Structure 1
Amino acid sequence: MGEVWTVLRVLEWTAVYFRERGIESARLDADLLLAATLGVDRVGLYLRYDQPLNAEELSRFRARVARRARREPLAYILGEVEFWSLSFAVTPAVLIPRPDTEVLVEEALARGPDEARVLDVGTGSGAIAISLAVERPAWQVTALDVSPAALEVAQGNARRHGVAERLRFLPGDLAQLPDEQFDLIVANPPYIPSADLAGLMPDVRDHEPHLALDGGPDGLAAYRALAAQAASRLRSGGCLLVEIGQGQEVAVQSLFAQAGLRDVRNRADYAGIIRVVGAARQ
């Protein structure tokens, strides 16, 4: 007679296994992987602590555990992540949306007019563009990305949240924004200096798209490109809002001021780190 692997025993073993491999959120990851395997939520797990797993459930769970042990991000294994209280499908073609980026959405909602034309540069999963479209039905939102695979993911997410008909998806690089004028341009561009990529956590370095991470030699290449185009792509009084890396606010503010933008302002995230820099066209 084989060993009996109950829900509780499996969770405890997996948490230890993950901790030994340097995964900080070991028990949480174990919970979420097993919940997904069994088709329940975390509360459902707690109500099933004494329930044995059958052979097929154990096999599927072990495959997921092996992927996480190789430091594949949990979001890619599960195939989705929550952002702005919405569920977004994610694949290795897109950067995984982080809670910090919700501050950029908040700032855009606060600074945009009642009816606005909005451009989301480097949309990835579409998290920013779709969140704005959900919150502001009157806004016309354009989502731009250089990756066809990323645009496919974003379009799927737009359909998931019922805003596909109100969003426009365009292929394109931030070096050449659409030749139009917008009330808001928002972006979470790549901002990690190229030399720092090797030192990232393996979850990020080895799995998330480098195109969405590599900000050039000093991490500021995307901000230079956006600042250079802002005056011609923003309507009078329109705003450029960008997420930045920790400690980049002074450099980005300077780039925006040199480009002739005014009312340069910062916004901190809920950890007190300056996360968003915004500026307006004269």
Structure 2
Amino acid sequence: MPELERLEGTLTLTAARRWAIAALRAAGVDDAGSDVRRLLAAALGLSPAQILARPEFALLPGQAEAFVGFVERRRRREPVSRILGCREFYGRSFAVSAATLDPRPDSETLIEAALQLISAEGWSAQPLRILDIGTGTGCLLLTLLCELPQATGLGTDLSAAALSVARGNAVALGVQDRAAWRVSDLLENVDGPFHMVLSNPPYLRSAEIATLEPEVSRFDPRLALDGGADGLEIFRRLSARVLEVVGEGWIVLEVGHDQADQVAELLRWARPAGCRANVRFYTDVSGKRRCVAVRTRN
């Protein structure tokens, strides 16, 4: 790494930022400036805006040591969210751990779709039951519970460690009395009916994972990424049983950028005789179809 510049025995914010940005760029980190602001803010207990407003502020020795440690971890491509232990999602902070997928902005498309569908059904003030399969941090279920004060929900995950993180997030957000958690392999030991079933399941092709950015391939749990040889393995398993627990309501799934039609077709074929399916697609900010929603009616 480049030498850490010291000015008359002190390290200023300007010098610290310059050194860290150079170190992260050399390691191939995109948007190094934004990452450095967040890491400096955490080391000093300031906001990113305060970091920019006080360029000549001198770091105390303990602050400088913490910051250097953060930068070294980021230089090894550990995501900022995992260094700091939290990630913002839909305007709220969620704790993350090695057992959980790092919440992505792409998944906010699923939240927007769910809220639009609930509003269109006239359910916003109703006592909805929501199921989140593969909940991880709980960010999907807990966001909806925060947005829908009358709703209750169940989050399932194969990882007990992930559910521990989700429980903590529920407490931090003040919705723990409306959220339940269960160790489950998809729909194992889950009884409906639910008004809405959500999931951001593993949908990457197994061979793709090693080619991803190190922030994903090294630090996200493979269990939350690997969708089998064609990326559709979990969708097939879900489609075989998900209609049993949703009854009349919505299934809302995050999908890979090229999977929307295939997933919709799996759900169409899975519906019981006499059950009609209304399929909708939702796009992310780049215009790619990243969410499939299916309404079943008996």
Q: 1:15, CA displacement in angstroms? A: 0.5
Instruction: Report the counterpart of residue 54 of structure 1 in structure 2.
Output: 60
Instruction: Report the counterpart of residue 243 of structure 1 in structure 2.
Output: 254
Instruction: Report the counterpart of residue 135 of structure 2 in structure 1.
Output: 123
Residue 14 in structure 1 maps to residue 25 in structure 2? no
d(CA) in 2 for partners of 1:53, 1:134: 38
Q: Which letter maps to 2:74?
A: R
- Provide the aligned C-alpha RMSD in A: 1.4
What stretches of structure 1 of length at least 5 have no aligned partner? none
Describe how 1:265-276 pairs up with structure 2 within 5 A: 265-276=280-291
What stretches of structure 2 of length at least 5 have no aligned partner? 1-6
Give the length in aligned residue pairs. Answer: 281
Q: 1:175, CA displacement in angstroms? A: 5.2
Q: Which letter maps to 1:57?
A: Q
Residue 281 in structure 1 maps to residue 273 in structure 2? no
How many percent identity over aligned positions? 37
Q: TM-score, normalised by structure 2?
A: 0.91
d(CA) in 1 for partners of 2:280, 2:26: 43
- Structure 2 counterpart of 1:253, from 249, 264, 273: 264
Contact 2:133–2:187, Cα closer than 8 Å, also in 1: no
Contact 1:230–1:281, Cα closer than 8 Å, also in 2: no
Q: Which letter maps to 1:129?
A: L
4+ residue segments displaced more than 4 Å: none
Describe how 1:1-282 pairs up with structure 2 within 5 A: 3-112=9-118, 113=123, 114-174=126-186, 176=188, 178-236=190-248, 238-260=249-271, 262-282=277-297
Say if 1:175 and 1:161 are closer, same or farther in 2 by CA, change over 3 A: closer
Q: 1:2, CA displacement in angstroms? A: 5.9
* Equivalent position SS for 2:58: coil
d(CA) in 1 for partners of 2:267, 2:153: 23
d(CA) in 1 for partners of 2:163, 2:37: 31
Contact 1:175–1:225, Cα closer than 8 Å, also in 2: no
d(CA) in 2 for partners of 1:49, 1:177: 56
d(CA) in 1 for partners of 2:131, 2:292: 16
Contact 1:177–1:229, Cα closer than 8 Å, also in 2: no
Q: 1:13, CA displacement in angstroms? A: 1.2
